[in-house]
Amino acid sequence: MASITLTPSEKEIQTFVQQYEQALTPSKNPYIRYFFKLPQASVSIYTSGKVLLQGEVAERYASFFGYQVRPVASGQNFPMIGTDEVGNGSYFGGLAVVASFVTPDQHDFLRKLGVGDSKTLTDQKIRQLAPLLKERIQHQALLLSPSKYNEIIGERYNAVSVKVALHNQAIFLLLQKGVQPEKIVIDAFTSAQNYDKYLKNEANHFSNPVSLEEKAEGKYLAVAVSSIIARDLFLENLENMGRELGYQLPSGAGTASDKVASQILRAYGIQGLNFCAKLHFKNTEKAKKMLER
């Protein structure tokens, strides 16, 4: 969790208070003038004039006061590949994996666009950013459709090994384009030991070492770019399949997914779900039971 202390001007403080007035929360600390509970961060403005920002996205709110995110010299101040996947936790839609190659001279461009952890960005913002990133950043995108996912899960792959295969293939294909990264980072979805175990089953290999790091999309711009492009690809696929079936397919795996799944099941049978959903999720059985009522 990031923790940042700043001493902005009174004018900057008042501007911040006005902008985030709805997030103002009472504080029992007599030395705190204003306390804000914001998405994934908190901001305390003290009577001394100091401002304390804490949380996963503290840097994002600190930038309001002119705070500059400092590049991690050992982490991303050189050419690197970062990968991320989207769709793993969603019943509807495929599995999108993207590998992106980012160089230090692109950092300013990315920061000015507001590239960061895609989980802090709205889907609307992601749809705006993705075309700009795809145009400027070398990347390799892969999309495993739900029908193909259903075909291979349980026979050749499990939910983890299929992601190992996709991340490895995206990196392999990007390296084939001639990029020369000094580091390759995968947003960790399993242990390095598990990754290496499943990697042995893959046909394509490369000699570059790979690091698996948790919450890498918030640490490395290359991973953040991949996260945004992957989310855009996933959303586009979801929209296209929904349009073809005549239903709005929700993201995630909640009760909204159960309801739509039961409607598709009634209209098209299990073949309809096989086309647009990951059948091994519990939502499939829930949708079947909804039809029985």
Per-residue pLDDT tens for 82-93? 999 999 999 999
* 112 has pLDDT over 90: no
* 3 has pLDDT over 90: no
Taking the mean position of all CA atoms in its chain, how far away is CA 198?
Answer: 23
Tokens 């208070």 belong to residue: 17
Q: Which of 293, 287, 285 is nearest to 266 (CA)?
A: 287
**β-sheet with 211-213: strand ranges across:** 138-144, 95-102, 80-86, 183-187, 211-213
Q: What single-letter amino acid sits at 169?
A: Q
Bridge partners, 187 (sequence order): 213
pLDDT tens per residue across span 158-172: 999 999 999 999 999
Bridge partners, 213 (sequence order): 187
pLDDT tens per residue across span 265-277: 999 999 999 999 9
Going by pLDDT thresholds of 50, 70 and 90, the confidence category of residue 62 is: confident
Predicted local confidence at residue 277, as pLDDT = 97
Predicted local confidence at residue 118, as pLDDT = 62
Ramachandran bin of 144, using left for φ above 0, alpha for ψ from -120 to 50, beta for the remaining angles: beta
Show me where the domains of the chain are located. Answer: 2-65, 73-240, 242-292
How far apart (Å, rounded) are the C-alpha atoms in residues 100 and 78? 14
* 156 has pLDDT over 90: no
Predicted local confidence at residue 71, as pLDDT = 44
Predicted local confidence at residue 292, as pLDDT = 85
Q: Which of 201, 147, 194, 202 is nearest to 171 (CA)?
A: 202
**Averaged pLDDT, 16-33:** 93
How far apart (Å, rounded) are the C-alpha atoms in residues 85 and 230? 6
* 17 has pLDDT over 50: yes
As its CATH architecture, domain 2-65 has 2-Layer Sandwich (3.30)
Predicted local confidence at residue 119, as pLDDT = 67
- From first CA to last CA, the distance across the chain in angstroms is 47
Predicted local confidence at residue 58, as pLDDT = 84
**What is the token pair recorded at 213?**
């790091």
How far apart (Å, rounded) are the C-alpha atoms in residues 276 and 185? 30
How far apart (Å, rounded) are the C-alpha atoms in residues 287 and 285? 5
DSSP string, 201-222: T-S---SS--EEETTGGGT-HH
**β-sheet with 41-46: strand ranges across:** 2-6, 51-55, 41-46, 32-38
Q: Which of 228, 218, 145 is nearest to 187 (CA)?
A: 218
Q: Beta-carbon neighbour count of residue 71 at 10 Å?
A: 15
As its CATH architecture, domain 73-240 has 2-Layer Sandwich (3.30)
How far apart (Å, rounded) are the C-alpha atoms in residues 248 and 240? 10
Do the Cβ atoms of 84 and 217 come closer than 8 Å? yes
Predicted local confidence at residue 72, as pLDDT = 41
Predicted local confidence at residue 74, as pLDDT = 46
How far apart (Å, rounded) are the C-alpha atoms in residues 187 and 83? 6
* 1 has pLDDT over 90: no
3-state SS, residue 144: strand
How far apart (Å, rounded) are the C-alpha atoms in residues 131 and 193? 35
Helix, strand, coil in percent for the chain, rounding step 5: 50, 20, 30
3-state SS, residue 232: helix
Do the Cβ atoms of 263 and 247 come closer than 8 Å? yes
The per-residue pLDDT of the chain, averaged, comes to 91
